[in-house]
Amino acid sequence: MPAPDFRVLFDATPSPYLVLDPDLRIVSVNQAYLQATSTVYDQIIGREIFNVFPENPDDPAASGVPNLRASLHRVLQTQCADTMAIQKYDIQVNSPEGVRFEERYWVVCDAMVAPPYLLQIRRRSIAITHDMFRLCSERGGRDASVSAIQAPAPHARATTTAGERCSPRRADSTRSAAAYPLRQWAS
């Protein structure tokens, strides 16, 4: 039996995956990531993640960039997986009127894989965004729904790529950083 082609497996994975180098430049993404973020492979490879995905300038309360940057830096420092609570992080999309930002909500897990590379797993962005809009309509406004759903994550222990145990972290609603085992997100 021939060895598996890991690029084919990576691209076929239904969850969006992004691989970054230690300088936070995009090294690789799979097809699900391109679809979830409305991006084109050749236009994002080699670029710094926050240049590809800037903060929405029309949202004064936007916190996606600093929260994601903090999560990635925690992973670089601790080599432990870091899962953020649901995060509003709008993305640029092309529309007939030109480029605009589209409201999105993500569950993101950042982890060290094959050091020094970082793997970012974005889970169910479309379903989460849809659920957030449903909650907003049920609870009478975006602010109430976002604060209710971005409650602190529970304590957890994470396993590093070397199999060492990481210390538990307490998440707070502004940073939303909790370490979780990567295997929890890899299914």
Q: Write out pLDDT tens, residues 4-45.
A: 999 999 999 999 999 999 999 999 999 999 999 999 999 999
DSSP of 67-100: HHHHHHHHHHHH-S-EEEPSEE--EEEEETTEEE
The pTM (predicted TM-score) of the whole model is: 0.71
- The encoded tokens of residue 56 equal 């929405």
**Average pLDDT for 64-82:** 95
